[in-house]
Amino acid sequence: MSSQEDIRRMSMTEANQPKKDWRFILIAIVAGLGGLLFGYDTGVVAGVLLFVNQVFHFDASMKGLFVAIALAAAAVGAAFAGALADAFGRRAVLIVAAVLFSAGAILSSVAGTIPILFLGRVMVGAAIGVSSMITPLYLSEITAAHWRGAIVTINQFYITVGIFVSYLVDYMLSGTPDGWRWMLGLGSVPGLILLGGMMVLPESPRWLAGRNFIEKATAGLRFLRGRQDVSEELGDLHRDIVEDSRRAAPWSLLLTRKVRKPLIIGVGLAVFQQITGINVVIYFAPTIFRDAGLSSASGSILATVGIGAVNVIMTGVAMRLLDTAGRRKMLLLGLYGMLISLVFIGTGFLIQLHGPLTYIIVGMVAIFVAFFAIGLGPIFWLMISEIFPLAIRGRAMSIATVANWVSNMVISGIFLDLLLIIGRGPTFMFYAAMTVLAILFTLWIVPETKGKTLEQIEDSL
Ligand code: BGC
Protein backbone atom coordinates (compact mmCIF):
# COMPACT_ATOMS: atom_id res chain seq x y z
CA MET A 1 0.00 0.00 0.00
CA SER A 2 1.27 3.47 -0.75
CA SER A 3 1.81 6.32 1.65
CA GLN A 4 1.42 10.04 1.78
CA GLU A 5 5.14 10.54 2.26
CA ASP A 6 5.94 8.60 -0.91
CA ILE A 7 3.48 10.60 -2.83
CA ARG A 8 4.74 13.85 -1.41
CA ARG A 9 8.20 13.12 -2.77
CA MET A 10 6.67 11.89 -5.98
CA SER A 11 4.97 15.15 -6.69
CA MET A 12 7.60 17.68 -5.67
CA THR A 13 7.82 18.66 -9.32
CA GLU A 14 4.24 19.79 -9.57
CA ALA A 15 4.58 23.17 -7.94
CA ASN A 16 4.25 24.82 -11.32
CA GLN A 17 0.86 23.40 -12.13
CA PRO A 18 -2.21 25.58 -12.58
CA LYS A 19 -3.78 26.38 -9.23
CA LYS A 20 -7.36 27.13 -10.17
CA ASP A 21 -8.46 24.33 -12.35
CA TRP A 22 -11.81 22.58 -12.62
CA ARG A 23 -9.97 19.34 -11.92
CA PHE A 24 -9.00 20.62 -8.50
CA ILE A 25 -12.56 21.64 -7.85
CA LEU A 26 -13.74 18.18 -8.84
CA ILE A 27 -11.14 16.54 -6.61
CA ALA A 28 -12.11 18.82 -3.72
CA ILE A 29 -15.80 17.94 -4.19
CA VAL A 30 -15.07 14.24 -4.19
CA ALA A 31 -12.79 14.73 -1.17
CA GLY A 32 -15.66 16.44 0.56
CA LEU A 33 -18.28 13.86 -0.35
CA GLY A 34 -16.41 10.93 1.20
CA GLY A 35 -16.24 12.70 4.58
CA LEU A 36 -19.67 14.26 4.15
CA LEU A 37 -21.31 10.88 3.61
CA PHE A 38 -19.43 9.43 6.59
CA GLY A 39 -20.78 12.28 8.74
CA TYR A 40 -24.29 12.41 7.26
CA ASP A 41 -24.97 8.71 7.41
CA THR A 42 -23.69 8.32 10.97
CA GLY A 43 -25.25 11.55 12.29
CA VAL A 44 -28.67 11.11 10.70
CA VAL A 45 -29.69 8.31 13.09
CA ALA A 46 -29.92 10.90 15.89
CA GLY A 47 -33.18 12.24 14.48
CA VAL A 48 -34.34 9.00 12.87
CA LEU A 49 -34.25 7.20 16.22
CA LEU A 50 -36.90 9.47 17.69
CA PHE A 51 -39.41 8.38 15.04
CA VAL A 52 -38.43 4.99 13.70
CA ASN A 53 -39.29 3.20 16.92
CA GLN A 54 -42.87 4.46 16.70
CA VAL A 55 -43.23 2.59 13.42
CA PHE A 56 -41.31 -0.56 14.29
CA HIS A 57 -41.85 -0.51 18.08
CA PHE A 58 -38.16 -0.76 19.04
CA ASP A 59 -37.12 -1.28 22.65
CA ALA A 60 -33.79 0.08 23.96
CA SER A 61 -31.81 -2.93 22.71
CA MET A 62 -33.32 -2.76 19.23
CA LYS A 63 -32.57 0.97 19.04
CA GLY A 64 -28.98 0.22 20.04
CA LEU A 65 -28.82 -2.52 17.41
CA PHE A 66 -30.22 -0.17 14.75
CA VAL A 67 -27.29 2.20 15.38
CA ALA A 68 -24.66 -0.49 15.91
CA ILE A 69 -25.44 -2.58 12.85
CA ALA A 70 -24.20 0.12 10.47
CA LEU A 71 -21.06 0.56 12.58
CA ALA A 72 -20.37 -3.20 12.56
CA ALA A 73 -20.69 -3.15 8.77
CA ALA A 74 -18.33 -0.15 8.71
CA ALA A 75 -15.73 -2.11 10.69
CA VAL A 76 -15.96 -5.00 8.21
CA GLY A 77 -15.86 -2.58 5.26
CA ALA A 78 -12.74 -0.85 6.64
CA ALA A 79 -11.07 -4.23 7.32
CA PHE A 80 -11.40 -5.37 3.69
CA ALA A 81 -11.15 -1.99 1.96
CA GLY A 82 -7.36 -1.88 1.71
CA ALA A 83 -7.04 -5.35 0.18
CA LEU A 84 -9.94 -4.74 -2.23
CA ALA A 85 -8.49 -1.40 -3.32
CA ASP A 86 -5.11 -3.04 -3.94
CA ALA A 87 -6.70 -5.82 -5.99
CA PHE A 88 -9.33 -3.93 -8.02
CA GLY A 89 -8.14 -0.33 -7.87
CA ARG A 90 -9.17 2.61 -5.71
CA ARG A 91 -11.66 3.98 -8.18
CA ALA A 92 -13.56 0.73 -8.65
CA VAL A 93 -13.91 0.30 -4.90
CA LEU A 94 -15.09 3.89 -4.43
CA ILE A 95 -17.64 3.45 -7.22
CA VAL A 96 -19.01 0.36 -5.48
CA ALA A 97 -19.08 2.32 -2.20
CA ALA A 98 -21.03 5.16 -3.87
CA VAL A 99 -23.56 2.67 -5.25
CA LEU A 100 -23.89 1.07 -1.79
CA PHE A 101 -24.34 4.49 -0.17
CA SER A 102 -27.16 5.40 -2.54
CA ALA A 103 -28.88 2.01 -2.75
CA GLY A 104 -28.67 1.48 1.03
CA ALA A 105 -30.10 4.95 1.72
CA ILE A 106 -33.04 4.34 -0.62
CA LEU A 107 -33.67 0.82 0.67
CA SER A 108 -33.76 1.87 4.32
CA SER A 109 -35.99 4.84 3.50
CA VAL A 110 -38.68 2.69 1.85
CA ALA A 111 -38.36 -0.22 4.30
CA GLY A 112 -41.62 -1.75 5.45
CA THR A 113 -40.03 -4.40 7.64
CA ILE A 114 -37.17 -4.45 10.15
CA PRO A 115 -34.92 -6.81 8.09
CA ILE A 116 -35.11 -4.49 5.06
CA LEU A 117 -34.46 -1.45 7.24
CA PHE A 118 -31.42 -3.14 8.74
CA LEU A 119 -30.21 -4.41 5.36
CA GLY A 120 -30.24 -0.83 4.06
CA ARG A 121 -28.23 0.34 7.08
CA VAL A 122 -25.73 -2.52 6.62
CA MET A 123 -25.15 -1.44 3.01
CA VAL A 124 -24.67 2.18 4.06
CA GLY A 125 -22.41 1.10 6.93
CA ALA A 126 -20.18 -0.99 4.68
CA ALA A 127 -19.87 1.99 2.34
CA ILE A 128 -18.92 4.29 5.24
CA GLY A 129 -16.19 1.88 6.37
CA VAL A 130 -14.76 1.51 2.88
CA SER A 131 -14.79 5.21 2.12
CA SER A 132 -13.30 6.14 5.53
CA MET A 133 -10.19 4.20 4.44
CA ILE A 134 -10.10 4.63 0.66
CA THR A 135 -11.15 8.26 0.15
CA PRO A 136 -8.05 9.65 1.93
CA LEU A 137 -5.85 7.04 0.23
CA TYR A 138 -7.17 7.79 -3.28
CA LEU A 139 -6.97 11.52 -2.74
CA SER A 140 -3.43 11.38 -1.40
CA GLU A 141 -2.44 9.44 -4.53
CA ILE A 142 -4.01 11.77 -7.09
CA THR A 143 -3.51 15.15 -5.46
CA ALA A 144 -0.47 17.36 -5.90
CA ALA A 145 1.99 17.63 -3.00
CA HIS A 146 0.99 21.06 -1.73
CA TRP A 147 -2.57 19.87 -1.09
CA ARG A 148 -1.75 16.58 0.52
CA GLY A 149 -1.00 17.55 4.11
CA ALA A 150 -4.36 19.25 4.48
CA ILE A 151 -6.37 16.29 3.30
CA VAL A 152 -6.47 14.40 6.57
CA THR A 153 -7.87 17.31 8.52
CA ILE A 154 -10.10 18.45 5.67
CA ASN A 155 -11.61 14.99 5.76
CA GLN A 156 -12.41 15.35 9.47
CA PHE A 157 -13.84 18.82 8.79
CA TYR A 158 -16.20 17.40 6.18
CA ILE A 159 -17.24 14.60 8.56
CA THR A 160 -18.42 17.27 10.99
CA VAL A 161 -20.13 19.19 8.17
CA GLY A 162 -21.92 15.96 7.21
CA ILE A 163 -23.09 15.46 10.79
CA PHE A 164 -24.28 19.09 10.91
CA VAL A 165 -26.19 18.77 7.63
CA SER A 166 -27.83 15.55 8.85
CA TYR A 167 -28.98 17.36 12.01
CA LEU A 168 -30.40 20.22 9.95
CA VAL A 169 -32.26 17.75 7.73
CA ASP A 170 -33.50 15.95 10.86
CA TYR A 171 -34.74 19.27 12.25
CA MET A 172 -36.48 20.38 9.08
CA LEU A 173 -38.20 17.03 8.62
CA SER A 174 -39.05 16.32 12.25
CA GLY A 175 -42.61 17.66 11.85
CA THR A 176 -43.27 15.87 8.55
CA PRO A 177 -45.19 12.58 8.62
CA ASP A 178 -42.76 9.85 7.68
CA GLY A 179 -39.98 12.47 7.81
CA TRP A 180 -37.53 9.81 9.03
CA ARG A 181 -37.83 8.08 5.65
CA TRP A 182 -36.63 11.26 3.95
CA MET A 183 -33.86 11.69 6.52
CA LEU A 184 -32.47 8.28 5.55
CA GLY A 185 -33.26 8.56 1.84
CA LEU A 186 -31.58 11.94 1.31
CA GLY A 187 -28.20 10.27 1.93
CA SER A 188 -28.58 8.96 -1.62
CA VAL A 189 -28.06 12.47 -3.06
CA PRO A 190 -24.38 12.92 -2.09
CA GLY A 191 -23.95 9.20 -2.84
CA LEU A 192 -25.08 9.78 -6.42
CA ILE A 193 -22.88 12.88 -6.77
CA LEU A 194 -19.92 10.82 -5.54
CA LEU A 195 -20.79 8.19 -8.12
CA GLY A 196 -20.87 10.84 -10.87
CA GLY A 197 -17.57 12.34 -9.67
CA MET A 198 -15.85 8.97 -9.61
CA MET A 199 -17.04 8.26 -13.15
CA VAL A 200 -15.18 11.37 -14.32
CA LEU A 201 -12.04 11.07 -12.18
CA PRO A 202 -9.41 8.58 -13.34
CA GLU A 203 -8.00 5.59 -11.50
CA SER A 204 -5.03 6.43 -9.29
CA PRO A 205 -1.97 6.64 -11.60
CA ARG A 206 0.08 5.20 -8.80
CA TRP A 207 -2.04 2.06 -8.62
CA LEU A 208 -2.04 1.76 -12.42
CA ALA A 209 1.73 2.13 -12.65
CA GLY A 210 2.17 -0.46 -9.89
CA ARG A 211 0.16 -2.88 -12.04
CA ASN A 212 2.21 -1.97 -15.10
CA PHE A 213 -0.65 -0.22 -16.90
CA ILE A 214 1.77 2.51 -17.92
CA GLU A 215 -0.34 3.94 -20.75
CA LYS A 216 -3.37 4.31 -18.56
CA ALA A 217 -1.23 5.80 -15.77
CA THR A 218 0.15 8.36 -18.24
CA ALA A 219 -3.33 9.26 -19.50
CA GLY A 220 -4.57 9.60 -15.92
CA LEU A 221 -1.69 11.88 -14.97
CA ARG A 222 -2.24 14.04 -18.06
CA PHE A 223 -5.89 14.41 -17.13
CA LEU A 224 -5.16 15.21 -13.48
CA ARG A 225 -2.35 17.66 -14.14
CA GLY A 226 -3.87 19.25 -17.20
CA ARG A 227 -0.68 19.02 -19.27
CA GLN A 228 0.87 16.66 -21.78
CA ASP A 229 4.36 16.27 -20.35
CA VAL A 230 4.15 14.11 -17.27
CA SER A 231 7.27 12.05 -17.92
CA GLU A 232 9.14 13.42 -14.93
CA GLU A 233 6.34 12.58 -12.51
CA LEU A 234 5.91 9.19 -14.11
CA GLY A 235 9.62 8.49 -13.58
CA ASP A 236 9.37 9.52 -9.91
CA LEU A 237 6.29 7.37 -9.57
CA HIS A 238 8.09 4.37 -10.96
CA ARG A 239 11.09 4.88 -8.68
CA ASP A 240 8.77 5.13 -5.69
CA ILE A 241 6.97 1.94 -6.55
CA VAL A 242 10.25 0.03 -6.91
CA GLU A 243 11.43 1.50 -3.60
CA ASP A 244 8.12 0.57 -1.98
CA SER A 245 8.26 -3.05 -3.07
CA ARG A 246 11.89 -3.24 -1.93
CA ARG A 247 10.77 -2.07 1.47
CA ALA A 248 7.47 -4.02 1.52
CA ALA A 249 7.33 -5.75 4.82
CA PRO A 250 5.62 -8.95 5.94
CA TRP A 251 2.67 -8.86 8.35
CA SER A 252 4.96 -10.20 11.07
CA LEU A 253 6.61 -6.77 11.18
CA LEU A 254 3.54 -5.68 13.12
CA LEU A 255 4.78 -7.74 16.04
CA THR A 256 8.29 -6.28 16.16
CA ARG A 257 9.41 -3.78 18.78
CA LYS A 258 9.78 -1.02 16.20
CA VAL A 259 6.11 -1.18 15.32
CA ARG A 260 4.72 -2.13 18.71
CA LYS A 261 4.87 1.35 20.19
CA PRO A 262 3.18 3.21 17.31
CA LEU A 263 0.61 0.43 17.15
CA ILE A 264 -0.18 0.87 20.85
CA ILE A 265 -0.52 4.62 20.27
CA GLY A 266 -2.72 4.22 17.16
CA VAL A 267 -5.02 1.54 18.56
CA GLY A 268 -5.08 3.25 21.99
CA LEU A 269 -6.16 6.58 20.49
CA ALA A 270 -8.73 4.75 18.33
CA VAL A 271 -10.30 3.13 21.37
CA PHE A 272 -10.10 6.24 23.56
CA GLN A 273 -11.64 8.36 20.80
CA GLN A 274 -14.74 6.22 21.14
CA ILE A 275 -14.96 5.04 24.76
CA THR A 276 -14.89 8.59 26.06
CA GLY A 277 -18.40 8.88 24.64
CA ILE A 278 -18.37 11.22 21.62
CA ASN A 279 -20.77 9.19 19.53
CA VAL A 280 -23.18 8.70 22.37
CA VAL A 281 -23.65 12.45 21.99
CA ILE A 282 -23.46 12.51 18.17
CA TYR A 283 -26.00 9.68 17.65
CA PHE A 284 -28.21 10.09 20.72
CA ALA A 285 -28.15 13.83 21.46
CA PRO A 286 -31.91 14.38 20.93
CA THR A 287 -32.63 11.36 23.14
CA ILE A 288 -30.25 12.70 25.83
CA PHE A 289 -31.82 16.16 25.68
CA ARG A 290 -35.31 14.76 25.91
CA ASP A 291 -34.25 12.68 28.93
CA ALA A 292 -32.72 15.82 30.45
CA GLY A 293 -36.11 17.55 30.23
CA LEU A 294 -36.44 19.32 26.84
CA SER A 295 -40.05 18.51 26.14
CA SER A 296 -40.52 18.41 22.34
CA ALA A 297 -38.80 16.21 19.79
CA SER A 298 -38.12 19.18 17.52
CA GLY A 299 -36.73 21.23 20.47
CA SER A 300 -34.31 18.39 21.21
CA ILE A 301 -33.31 18.17 17.58
CA LEU A 302 -32.82 21.96 17.41
CA ALA A 303 -30.45 21.77 20.39
CA THR A 304 -28.70 18.99 18.50
CA VAL A 305 -28.26 21.26 15.46
CA GLY A 306 -26.44 23.66 17.80
CA ILE A 307 -24.14 20.82 18.88
CA GLY A 308 -23.44 20.03 15.23
CA ALA A 309 -22.53 23.68 14.56
CA VAL A 310 -20.14 23.76 17.54
CA ASN A 311 -18.49 20.60 16.20
CA VAL A 312 -17.89 22.15 12.75
CA ILE A 313 -16.64 25.49 14.10
CA MET A 314 -14.23 23.98 16.61
CA THR A 315 -12.87 21.51 14.05
CA GLY A 316 -12.15 24.57 11.88
CA VAL A 317 -10.31 26.14 14.83
CA ALA A 318 -8.33 22.93 15.37
CA MET A 319 -7.24 22.89 11.72
CA ARG A 320 -5.69 26.32 12.19
CA LEU A 321 -4.01 25.47 15.49
CA LEU A 322 -2.69 21.93 15.06
CA ASP A 323 0.51 22.90 13.26
CA THR A 324 1.35 25.78 15.59
CA ALA A 325 0.23 24.67 19.04
CA GLY A 326 1.22 21.04 18.59
CA ARG A 327 -0.76 17.81 18.67
CA ARG A 328 0.10 16.58 22.14
CA LYS A 329 -0.73 19.87 23.84
CA MET A 330 -4.05 20.19 22.03
CA LEU A 331 -4.90 16.56 22.71
CA LEU A 332 -4.32 17.08 26.44
CA LEU A 333 -6.21 20.37 26.49
CA GLY A 334 -9.11 18.71 24.69
CA LEU A 335 -9.14 15.77 27.10
CA TYR A 336 -9.09 18.00 30.21
CA GLY A 337 -12.05 19.97 28.80
CA MET A 338 -13.94 16.76 27.97
CA LEU A 339 -13.32 15.44 31.48
CA ILE A 340 -14.67 18.55 33.20
CA SER A 341 -17.78 18.71 31.02
CA LEU A 342 -18.49 14.98 31.44
CA VAL A 343 -18.31 15.31 35.22
CA PHE A 344 -20.78 18.22 35.01
CA ILE A 345 -23.15 16.26 32.74
CA GLY A 346 -22.96 13.19 35.02
CA THR A 347 -23.58 15.31 38.11
CA GLY A 348 -26.43 17.17 36.39
CA PHE A 349 -28.19 13.87 35.75
CA LEU A 350 -27.36 12.54 39.24
CA ILE A 351 -28.91 15.53 41.02
CA GLN A 352 -31.73 15.59 38.44
CA LEU A 353 -31.56 19.20 37.28
CA HIS A 354 -34.90 20.38 36.02
CA GLY A 355 -36.65 23.45 34.60
CA PRO A 356 -34.36 26.04 33.02
CA LEU A 357 -31.38 24.37 34.74
CA THR A 358 -31.72 21.62 32.12
CA TYR A 359 -29.91 23.99 29.78
CA ILE A 360 -26.77 23.55 31.87
CA ILE A 361 -26.67 19.96 30.61
CA VAL A 362 -27.24 21.10 27.01
CA GLY A 363 -24.44 23.67 27.43
CA MET A 364 -22.09 21.11 28.93
CA VAL A 365 -22.76 18.69 26.07
CA ALA A 366 -21.81 21.50 23.65
CA ILE A 367 -18.60 22.16 25.60
CA PHE A 368 -17.79 18.44 25.60
CA VAL A 369 -18.15 18.33 21.80
CA ALA A 370 -16.06 21.51 21.42
CA PHE A 371 -13.16 20.00 23.36
CA PHE A 372 -13.43 16.72 21.43
CA ALA A 373 -13.30 18.70 18.19
CA ILE A 374 -10.06 20.50 19.04
CA GLY A 375 -8.33 17.36 20.31
CA LEU A 376 -9.20 13.71 20.06
CA GLY A 377 -11.43 14.18 16.97
CA PRO A 378 -8.91 15.33 14.38
CA ILE A 379 -5.75 14.23 16.21
CA PHE A 380 -6.55 10.51 16.13
CA TRP A 381 -6.94 10.55 12.32
CA LEU A 382 -3.92 12.79 11.91
CA MET A 383 -1.63 10.74 14.14
CA ILE A 384 -2.41 7.41 12.50
CA SER A 385 -1.27 8.88 9.20
CA GLU A 386 2.01 10.03 10.80
CA ILE A 387 3.34 7.52 13.31
CA PHE A 388 3.70 4.23 11.44
CA PRO A 389 6.85 3.16 9.58
CA LEU A 390 6.41 3.52 5.84
CA ALA A 391 6.72 -0.18 5.09
CA ILE A 392 3.71 -1.06 7.18
CA ARG A 393 1.74 2.18 7.19
CA GLY A 394 -1.28 1.05 5.15
CA ARG A 395 -1.91 -2.08 7.15
CA ALA A 396 -1.30 -0.45 10.51
CA MET A 397 -3.72 2.35 9.61
CA SER A 398 -6.30 -0.28 8.72
CA ILE A 399 -5.92 -1.90 12.12
CA ALA A 400 -6.36 1.42 13.94
CA THR A 401 -9.38 2.30 11.75
CA VAL A 402 -11.05 -1.04 12.43
CA ALA A 403 -10.34 -0.66 16.17
CA ASN A 404 -12.06 2.72 15.98
CA TRP A 405 -15.20 1.35 14.29
CA VAL A 406 -15.42 -1.68 16.57
CA SER A 407 -15.13 0.47 19.72
CA ASN A 408 -17.69 2.86 18.25
CA MET A 409 -20.08 -0.04 17.64
CA VAL A 410 -19.71 -1.43 21.16
CA ILE A 411 -20.09 1.92 22.92
CA SER A 412 -23.03 3.10 20.81
CA GLY A 413 -24.70 -0.32 20.81
CA ILE A 414 -24.80 -0.63 24.59
CA PHE A 415 -25.49 3.02 25.46
CA LEU A 416 -29.28 2.81 25.75
CA ASP A 417 -29.09 -0.45 27.74
CA LEU A 418 -26.49 1.15 30.01
CA LEU A 419 -28.88 4.05 30.69
CA LEU A 420 -31.53 1.56 31.76
CA ILE A 421 -29.23 -0.60 33.85
CA ILE A 422 -26.96 1.86 35.69
CA GLY A 423 -28.75 5.16 34.97
CA ARG A 424 -27.77 8.40 33.19
CA GLY A 425 -25.48 9.92 35.82
CA PRO A 426 -23.26 6.85 36.29
CA THR A 427 -23.12 6.29 32.51
CA PHE A 428 -21.57 9.73 31.97
CA MET A 429 -19.31 9.25 35.00
CA PHE A 430 -18.07 6.09 33.28
CA TYR A 431 -17.08 8.15 30.21
CA ALA A 432 -15.37 10.61 32.58
CA ALA A 433 -13.37 7.73 34.10
CA MET A 434 -12.38 6.61 30.59
CA THR A 435 -11.23 10.18 29.87
CA VAL A 436 -8.96 10.04 32.92
CA LEU A 437 -7.41 6.88 31.44
CA ALA A 438 -7.07 8.64 28.08
CA ILE A 439 -5.17 11.50 29.78
CA LEU A 440 -2.81 9.07 31.53
CA PHE A 441 -2.31 7.20 28.25
CA THR A 442 -1.45 10.43 26.42
CA LEU A 443 0.97 11.57 29.12
CA TRP A 444 2.62 8.15 29.06
CA ILE A 445 3.10 7.44 25.38
CA VAL A 446 1.77 9.96 22.84
CA PRO A 447 4.66 11.90 21.20
CA GLU A 448 4.67 15.40 19.77
CA THR A 449 4.74 15.12 15.97
CA LYS A 450 4.33 18.79 15.08
CA GLY A 451 6.83 20.06 12.52
CA LYS A 452 8.66 16.74 12.21
CA THR A 453 9.13 14.85 8.98
CA LEU A 454 7.65 11.39 8.86
CA GLU A 455 11.19 9.96 8.97
CA GLN A 456 12.02 11.92 12.15
CA ILE A 457 8.82 10.66 13.75
CA GLU A 458 9.71 7.11 12.73
CA ASP A 459 13.18 7.47 14.28
CA SER A 460 11.91 9.02 17.50
CA LEU A 461 9.52 6.13 18.03
C1 BGC B 1 -14.91 10.20 14.83
C2 BGC B 1 -16.35 9.87 14.63
C3 BGC B 1 -17.18 10.99 15.22
C4 BGC B 1 -16.77 12.33 14.66
C5 BGC B 1 -17.49 13.45 15.35
C6 BGC B 1 -14.59 11.52 14.21
O7 BGC B 1 -13.25 11.84 14.41
O8 BGC B 1 -14.10 9.18 14.28
O9 BGC B 1 -16.62 8.64 15.24
O10 BGC B 1 -18.55 10.77 14.95
O11 BGC B 1 -15.39 12.53 14.80
O12 BGC B 1 -17.12 14.69 14.84
Q: How far is CA 387 from CA 322, 394, 400, in A?
A: 16, 11, 11
State the chain's mean pLDDT as an integer.
86
Our mutation pick for probing the ligand 1 site, out of 279, 281, 384, 409, counting the most ligand atoms within 8 A of Cβ, is 279
**Ligand 1 atom 12 nearest Cα:** 160
Checking if the pLDDT of 6 tops 60, the result is: no
**The pLDDT of residue 259:** 84
**The pLDDT of residue 269:** 97
Checking if the pLDDT of 381 tops 60, the result is: yes
Dihedral through CA 342, CA 344, CA 350, CA 356, nearest 10?
A: -120
CA of 86 to the centre of ligand 1 (A): 26
Average pLDDT over residues 258-263: 88
**Ligand 1 atom 5 nearest Cα:** 160
Query: Where residue 3 falls among pLDDT bands split at 50, 70, 90?
Result: very low
Average pLDDT over residues 81-93: 88
pLDDT in tens, 425-436: 999 999 999 999
CA of 298 to the centre of ligand 1 (A): 24
- φ/ψ region of 195 (left if φ > 0, alpha if ψ in -120 to 50, else beta) reads alpha
CA of 285 to the centre of ligand 1 (A): 14
User: How does DSSP classify residue 117?
Assistant: H
Nearest atom, ligand 1, residue 43 CA: 10
CA of 313 to the centre of ligand 1 (A): 14
- Whether the CB-CB separation of 372 and 338 falls below 8 Å is answered with yes
Average pLDDT over residues 403-414: 94
Our mutation pick for probing the ligand 1 site, out of 38, 282, 407, counting the most ligand atoms within 8 A of Cβ, is 282
pLDDT in tens, 154-181: 788 889 999 999 999 999 998 888 899 9
Higher pLDDT, residue 226 or 454:
226
Average pLDDT over residues 2-15: 43
CA of 15 to the centre of ligand 1 (A): 33
Using alpha carbons, select from 72, 55, 80, 70 the residue that is nearest to residue 166: 70
Checking if the pLDDT of 8 tops 60, the result is: no
Nearest atom, ligand 1, residue 404 CA: 8
Using alpha carbons, select from 349, 249, 204 the residue that is nearest to residue 291: 349
**The pLDDT of residue 145:** 56
Nearest atom, ligand 1, residue 39 CA: 10
CA of 152 to the centre of ligand 1 (A): 13
Nearest atom, ligand 1, residue 378 CA: 7
Nearest atom, ligand 1, residue 282 CA: 10
Nearest atom, ligand 1, residue 373 CA: 12
pLDDT in tens, 197-208: 888 888 888 888
What lies within 8 Å, CB to CB, of 81 at 6+ separation is 93, 129, 130, 133, 134, 398
- Whether the CB-CB separation of 287 and 430 falls below 8 Å is answered with no
Nearest atom, ligand 1, residue 283 CA: 10
**Ligand 1 atom 6 nearest Cα:** 377
Average pLDDT over residues 393-412: 91
Least confident of 175-179, 245-249, 261-265: 245-249
Query: Where residue 244 falls among pLDDT bands split at 50, 70, 90?
Result: low
Our mutation pick for probing the ligand 1 site, out of 159, 267, 365, counting the most ligand atoms within 8 A of Cβ, is 159
Checking if the pLDDT of 340 tops 50, the result is: yes
**Ligand 1 atom 10 nearest Cα:** 279
CA of 44 to the centre of ligand 1 (A): 13
Query: Where residue 349 falls among pLDDT bands split at 50, 70, 90?
Result: very high
Query: Where residue 247 falls among pLDDT bands split at 50, 70, 90?
Result: low
- Whether the CB-CB separation of 282 and 42 falls below 8 Å is answered with yes
pLDDT in tens, 112-160: 999 999 999 999 999 999 988 888 778 777 766 555 556 667 788 889 9
Query: Where residue 255 falls among pLDDT bands split at 50, 70, 90?
Result: confident
pLDDT in tens, 64-82: 899 999 999 999 999 998 8
CA of 377 to the centre of ligand 1 (A): 6
Our mutation pick for probing the ligand 1 site, out of 45, 154, 278, counting the most ligand atoms within 8 A of Cβ, is 278
**The pLDDT of residue 148:** 54
**The pLDDT of residue 149:** 52
Pocket of ligand 1 (CB under 6 A): 42, 156, 159-160, 163, 273, 278-279, 282, 311, 377, 381, 404, 408
Checking if the pLDDT of 186 tops 60, the result is: yes
Checking if the pLDDT of 101 tops 90, the result is: yes
Burial code (b: 16+ CB inside 10 Å, e: under 16) for 200-213 equals ebbbbbbbbbbeeb
**Ligand 1 atom 3 nearest Cα:** 279
Nearest atom, ligand 1, residue 376 CA: 7
**The pLDDT of residue 144:** 61
CA of 231 to the centre of ligand 1 (A): 40
Checking if the pLDDT of 210 tops 50, the result is: yes
Average pLDDT over residues 384-409: 87
- Helices 60-88 and 393-422 cross at an angle (nearest 10°) of 180
CA of 129 to the centre of ligand 1 (A): 13
pLDDT in tens, 280-308: 999 888 888 888 888 777 788 889 999 99
**The pLDDT of residue 16:** 43
One DSSP character per residue, 362-391 reads HHHHHHHHHHHHHTHHHHHHHHHTTSS-GG
Query: Where residue 17 falls among pLDDT bands split at 50, 70, 90?
Result: very low
Checking if the pLDDT of 239 tops 70, the result is: yes
User: How does DSSP classify residue 53?
Assistant: H
One DSSP character per residue, 248-299 reads ---GGGGGSHHHHHHHHHHHHHHHHHHHTTHHHHHHHHHHHHHHHT--SHHH
Average pLDDT over residues 222-246: 78
CA of 21 to the centre of ligand 1 (A): 31
- Whether the CB-CB separation of 190 and 38 falls below 8 Å is answered with no
